[in-house]
Structure 1
Amino acid sequence: MKKLTLSVACLATISAFGQVKDSINTKDVDEVVLTASRKRENIKEIPSSITVVGEKQVQSQLTVNSDITSILQYTVPSLATSSGQTSNTGQTLRGRQVLVLIDGIPQSTPLRNGARDLRSIDPSVIERIEVIKGASSIYGNGADGGIINYITRRSKSDKKISGISQFGITGQQYGGTLGYRASQLLSGKISKFDYVVSLAYEKTGFMKDADGVNLSPTYSTAKMNNYNGMLKLGYAINDNQRVEASYIGYAAKSDLNLGLKTGKYGVTPTIGEGEGKNLETTPQGTPRNHNFKLSYDNKNLWKGTSLNVNLYLQDFRTVYGYSDTFLNGGQSNVISKKTGARANFDTQLWSGKNSQGEMIYGLDVLNDQTVQKLEDGRYWTPDMNMTNIAPFLLVKVDLMKKLTIKGGLRYENIAVKVGDFNTLSTVKSDGTFTKSIFVTGGNLKYNALVGNIGVRYNINPMLNLFGSFSQAYSINELGRILRTSTEGTIQNLETKPIIVNNYEFGATGQIAKWVNYEITSYVSTSKLGATFVQSPDRALTIQRSPEVVYGVEGFLHFTPTKWINFGGSYSWMEGITSIKDDGDYSAKINNSRISAPKVLAYVQVRPIQSLSVGLDMLHAFAQNRFEPNAKGLYAYGEGKVPEYTVFNLKSSYEVNQNWKVSLGIENLFNKTYQPAIAWWAARDADFTNSLGLRGTFMVEYKF
């Protein structure tokens, strides 16, 4: 570790927690990452806060649970725990919303955050996951808390054809829970052409708690049909130039037909029983998520300058369950279509014996059209058409082979065209209605200059220090603000964007060649945040007020011998707000964003070369930050969350160089507990149990 780095568009800490866990039987943990600066860089040269979840770790976690929100909760320290549902509501990163990407294509819908962006791809096609922690503007709108970028598999072999075939079954010790999955990946190289093609299908069974009772059908992952297809075609024009076209498609559709028996908050869980009332006309889930990308790379556009150009399109639709919070009830859809282009130039300014300079610059263009509509055609939000044009510049300087300074600027120029619409008449808790009003749309314009700067100084292998400042600029939850409008024109609403300032300081290093560590502290501020609060009509509205979020996180990893490694991580955060905008930050941001402290621990042993056995532990601490009202009831987001601990078992046996069998057991000790959202939401319908013991057996064939 001989460099110090300062980063422009995304500074935080280099967290190799996920990456280090993969280090059994690997030569080192040096890894090339793409997300931090939109170019290939060694992780040792980046002063950003990064967790890399490597391919082996993704595949290992896949044998326990194919739900990617579960994979992430066990591998990213500062990410909140999963709800175990199709929705990732509350699974924030460092207390703020995260921007999800697939190969750099944005999956999130910040104009109307549908909380379905994490579950937008099957893990079988993921090569690694790069997580940038802390505010970042490098990929545009929505990265208040950071970025999660799913990097998909690429062709690595010179063979004309090679492949991986997987088949697995899942089940619990109760009837009806059997599920199965199958995937096939083929890749190869023919002359100057290379390709990757993949198909995956999963059918889940019923999901039951530790007592064998069906979990709530609301946002359930039970009886779900998941599909994933990928096609990548690349052509090397010459040694310097390459073009690549890709398509990645994902769909998830539920055929669950369970009735809902609402429980009592804190007493009895909400469960599924019998058959449903067939109020839903469309299966819940994400019926489509199409991603198209065309890229061109030129390593030598002219002397000392390279070029990368990406054109992309994303077409997304997700369907929610039946809701009676508005007149006549119904199901809603979030529909989003994005088209974009990115041009990245990388120019070597100078290169000397003890120093070098580099400049990365270019232009991003994004059009995002998002709307939330009911199945019967009624608009819940207006049509929102956003155009974002953003030039950027990043300068990187390496000095003395130890110090790197990185800094840059990005100019956000955003215009949103909002259509006219009628708000829905909503149902209050006492059974009365709010009246629908007509809202005149119009044009909203925003612009801002955001910057990043960071420094990393690698003193020696045992101690490397970094500090950074970074900003994010986003228009988050504009649709929810508009749909709860009480004004007749959008110009009278508080729709200002969120500008987040993130400050960070940390240290990382390696002790005695078999101990790796990192510790990081951070503070993020924003003059206007965006937090869910519940109104008297049961609708969730957005509270806009000044905010401060701060926390610490770190990890320790031990590899005393080649046949064992173990370690863990810890994360803690707090968030405060000034509701009256008077400088008094005595109020706390609620638990829907500020997650409880979390400990992740693991041990992995390889008693013989062909056998690997691992145990993961997740411990979520109790969270008691608010008081109930006079009736003993908590407001939404303020419920008291008890602690829980859950263990997962992972094991695999390599029969020979082609065949491998794996066994994973989730919730190994069949513990009865509730996900955090069941407690902090403080609503009877949301009080649900978590999944009981569940096993997965997989067979893999490589050729």
Structure 2
Amino acid sequence: MKKVILSSACLGTTMVFAQVKDSLQTQSVEEVVMTASRKKENIKEIPGSITVVAEKQIQSQLTVNSDITSILQYTVPSLGTNSGQTSNTGQTLRGRQVLVLIDGIPQSTPLRNGARDLRVVDPSAIERVEVIKGASSIYGNGADGGIINYITKRSKTDKKISGISQIGFTGQPYGGTLGIRASQLLTGKINRFDYTFSLAYERTGYMKDASGVYLSPTYSTAKMDNYNGMLKLGYNINDNQRIEASYIGYSSRSDLNLGLSTGKYGIRPTIGEGVGKSLETTPQGTPKNHNIRVSYDNKNLFAGTSLNINLYYQDFKTVYGYSDTFLNGGQSNVISKKAGARFNFDTQLWNSANSQGEIIYGADILNDQTVQKLEDGRFWTPNMNMTNIAPFLLTKIDLFKKLTIKAGLRYENIKVNVDNFNTLSVLKSDGTFTNSIPVTGGKLNYNALVGNIGIRYNVQPYINLFASFSQAYSINELGRILRTSTSETIKSLETKPIIVNNYELGATGQLSNWLNYELTSYVSTSKLGASFVQSPDRALMIQRSPEIVYGVEGFLHFTPLHWLQFGGSYSWMEGITSLKDDGNYSAKINNSRISAPKVLAYVQAKPIPVLSLGLDMLHSFTQSRFEPNAKTGLYAYGEGYVPEYTVFNFKTSFEVNRNWKLSLGIENLFNKKYQPAIAWWSARDNEFVNALGMRGTLMVEYKF
């Protein structure tokens, strides 16, 4: 029996579903084991739904596009479509911000959300991706819409050494430079010691649209050098105790030097042309993302109790392009350092033939130091130093092997120290600059008790019902609120946290040996949400107001023949807000958070044992939720009309022998000319860009 082990904990998370397509043999839900409450669990015990992107899915999608934001848009139903750029702006989960992790280490920077947290590791190092949908407080600040946890590869062999070597080439049918990527994975086990070592390098080529025209150089993924390294060492002290240490490093830098030709929104796209003189003194991208983790497990600390300890450290920096919106111009960055510890105890209360009960308890400690500056040293936000201490308790009861009840509490205690600073002079719509204002910092204190409760009843294999309530607590975009301050003290600013209440109801099951399904509905509310809106001078600001987001998503998976499988998913959401104190939810949350309805479909076939064929489709529906300004005819930011589009990707692999494999992927198979959703809803001339045209990837793999 093959098992998929999920290591993400989700106290405060309620709907869990494992979407596993890592072979042409459908795995029944009974075979999937996951960790949805800081421990391994059978999916039949979990009152909720998650999406799991398995290793073979990642490898298959990697053949088409190595950008993890593209891989996720094709595999996660309720995740927004990607921008095709280095930024993941607009790629929200169920209409809210998502917290990104690598092996449980936070990657997101919610104190100043720079939208660079999805592209922080190379897909070749990822074993699977766990996507927990809906508000979750388990990892602290930032998980309003859920969690995306990249689980990196580990040693799964008894050999002293084994590995996978890959080299690939990418190109488009319009001439220009080729892209190249190479990766090496080594794993092994020597007595009680095991190791995993991987390296990856990618040099992307130029990016062109379906007409062979250079895409906009702004936040472009073209001509980038991407590096990734990982070392994971484990030692089994005895049958009950294990210690593990790991390092993961990622770097991405651009040397694209194209000129920029600004287009006209809805009429002519912004493009790159010729070789231009860049004003950038630092390459765009994420020059460093260092992650260090040490963990200790004891399965039998004392009678009926196990212990898990995780210590971690992250050092992150990302750099944006040159902008003349600052006085004298400049490039901004986001710099974040995090250090944390998680202590997790699991005590078995009773365990009989038909029922069992347990409690999971412990504490999480996190220190997050984040700042946004210009590369010349000027501060755009002040230094923000957050300390979060959160004890938690989760109980779980299983009755008659059919009924599971879970409930948990978590106490958030957050303190943020804010330095004194001067606001930057930025460009206004009339061509003048704002005045710099000295702002006195200080201490901000937040605390709250958040909880979750869920129930799952496995009626029959063909119908399993679940319902749940969960909460998230976050201080999202504090930095953006501070940097636009018009007051001389932070005490007068609206910096209250976002508390999200998430309600979920769903059903899942296996109607036959060849059909699995899931249907989920959800509602999330917050008394004080946070959204980007456009100010009168067309600058972006944060709007704080009550919010309701609701939606549905469904999934079908068919395996009519042992060599053929196909299926798809559908997701739809809506968001409304109350802009007045009358409680009337008469306004809509804009499209920067509320994605257009999306259909994902796939077919995979293995007509002979050595040949695999696959076709993926993404269809994004029309989104027409707002009207342009009656006087100017212009849409406000986030409110632009979004037309529908459909894209197909093709992939195939051929196993030459037990060691060698050839793979071919074609992105945008029919060379569709279209614009990504963000190009339309942002309603800005410089952001109205075309999407990538047809591009092919040829990959050679050697396994030993």
Bin of the TM-score, shorter chain as denominator length = over 0.9
Structure 1 segment 180-579 matched on structure 2, within 5 A: 180-579=180-579
Q: What residue number does 2:166 align with?
A: 166
How far apart are residue 32 of structure 1 and its match? 3.0
Deviates more, 1:529-538 or 1:79-88: 529-538
Q: How far did 1:23 drift?
A: 3.8
Cα deviation, residue 385, structure 1: 0.1
TM, length-normalised to structure 1: 0.98
**Aligned residue identity for 1:608:** I
Contact 1:545 1:581 in 2 (8 A): no
Q: Secondary structure of 2:72's partner? A: helix
Instruction: Give 1:512 shift.
Output: 1.6
Deviations 1:610-646 (A, max 9, x none): 1010000000000000000022100000000000000
2:46 matched to which residue of 1? 46
CA distance in 2, matches of 1:628, 1:37: 46
Cα distance, 1:126–1:306 mapped onto 2, change above 3 Å? same
Tell me what 2:140 maps to: 140
**Contact 2:233–2:246 (CA<8 Å) still a contact in 1?**
yes
Asked if 1:591 corresponds to 2:576, the answer is no
* 1:417 maps to amino acid: N
SS in 2 for 1:65: coil
Cross-structure match for 1:697: 698
Larger mean CA deviation between 668-677 and 650-659 belongs to 650-659
Superposed CA deviations along residues 503-542 of structure 1, whole A, max 9, x for unmatched, are 0000000012111000000000000111011224443211
Instruction: Give the SS at the match of 2:330.
Output: coil
Shift of residue 326 of structure 1? 1.9
Instruction: Supply the AA of the counterpart residue of 2:524.
Output: S
Q: Residues of 2 paired with 1:8 and 1:399: CA distance? A: 21
Q: By how many angstroms is 1:558 displaced?
A: 0.5
Does the CA contact (< 8 Å) of 2:26 and 2:559 recur in 1? no
Partner SS, residue 56 of structure 2: helix
Q: By how many angstroms is 1:100 displaced?
A: 0.2
Match of 1:151 in 2: 151
Query: What's the secondary structure of 1:476's corresponding residue?
Result: coil
Deviations 1:118-147 (CA, angstroms, capped at 9, x unpaired): 000000010000000000001111000000
Can you list the C-alpha shifts for 1:334-358, whole angstroms capped at 9, x where unaligned? 0000000000000001111211001
Question: Are residue 11 (structure 1) and residue 13 (structure 2) matched?
Answer: yes
CA distance in 1, matches of 2:10, 2:402: 18
Other-structure match for 1:663: 664
* Distance across 1 between alignment mates of 2:167 and 2:520: 40
The answer (yes or no) to whether the contact 2:13–2:137 under 8 Å persists in 1 is no
- Secondary structure at the aligned position of 1:470 is classed as strand
Structure 1, unaligned stretches of length 5 or more? 1-6
1:37 aligns with 2:22: no
Deviant stretches of 4+, over 6 Å: none
Shift of 1:8: 7.0
* Deviation (angstroms), 1:9: 2.2
8 Å CA contact 1:55–1:128 kept in 2: the answer is yes
- Report the equivalent of 2:647: 646
Aligned partners of 1:441 and 1:377: how far apart in 2? Answer: 19
Asked if the contact 1:8/1:406 (under 8 Å) is kept, the reply is no
Secondary structure at the counterpart of residue 479 of structure 2:
helix
The one-letter amino acid of 1:454's match is: G
The answer to which of 589-598 and 352-361 deviates more is 352-361
Aligned with 1:56: secondary structure? helix
Cα shift readout 1:255-289 (whole Å, capped 9, x = no counterpart): 10011100000000000012233210000000000
- Structure 2: gaps spanning 5 or more residues: 1-8
Question: Which residue of structure 2 lines up, in the alignment, with residue 3 of structure 1?
Answer: none
Report the CA distance between 1:430 and its aligned residue.
Answer: 1.6
Q: Distance in 2 between matches of 1:244 and 1:537?
A: 53
Report if aligned partners of 2:359, 2:395 keep a CA contact under 8 Å in 1: yes
Quote the Cα distance in structure 2 between the aligned partners of 1:162 and 1:26. Answer: 28
> More deviation in 191-200 or 528-537?
528-537
**1:25, distance to aligned residue in structure 2 (A):** 3.8
The residue number in structure 1 matching 2:103 is 103
Deviation at 1:28, TM superposition (A): 4.5
Query: Separation in 2 of the partners of 1:47 and 1:66?
Result: 33
In structure 1, distance between residues paired with 2:163 and 2:237: 25
Report the Cα distance in structure 2 between the residues aligned to 1:13 and 1:398, rounded to whole angstroms: 17
CA distance in 2, matches of 1:499, 1:619: 33
Distance 2:546 2:12 in 1: 22
Q: Does 1:616 align with 2:652?
A: no
List per-residue Cα deviations over 1:278-331 (Å, max 9, x = no partner): 210000000000000000000000010000000000000000001122211100
Secondary structure of the residue that 1:322 maps to in structure 2? strand
**1:533–1:643 CA distance, 2 compared to 1 (3 A):** same
Output the CA distance in 2 between the equivalents of 1:318 and 1:169. 27
Give percent identity, aligned residues only: 80
Distance 1:65 1:376 in 2: 35
2:638 corresponding residue in structure 1: 637
Distance in 1 between residues matched to 2:281 and 2:42, nearest whole Å = 50
Pairing 1:59–2:59 present: yes
Could you tell me which amino acid in structure 2 is paired with residue 570 of structure 1?
Answer: Y
Using the TM superposition, give the Cα deviation of residue 44 of structure 1 relative to its aligned residue in structure 2, in angstroms.
Answer: 2.9
Tell me which amino acid in the other structure corresponds to 2:569: S
Check conservation: 1:620, 1:643, Cα contact below 8 A: yes
3-state SS in 1 of match to 2:454: strand
In the alignment, the residues of structure 2 paired with residue 348 and residue 235 of structure 1 have an alpha-carbon distance, to the nearest angstrom, of 26
Indicate the SS of the match to 2:275.
coil
Pairs aligned (count): 694
Letter in 2 for 1:101: L
The residue number in structure 2 matching 1:4 is none
- Residue deviations 1:621-677, cap 9 Å, x none? 000000000221000000000000000001111111111110000000000000000
Contact 1:8 1:451 in 2 (8 A): no
The 8 Å contact of residues 8 and 407 in structure 1, kept in 2 or not, is answered as: no
**TM value normalised by structure 2:** 0.97
The equivalent of 1:681 in structure 2 is: 682
| Matched residue SS, 2:321 | coil
| Whole-angstrom CA distance in 1 between matches of 2:434 and 2:211 | 41
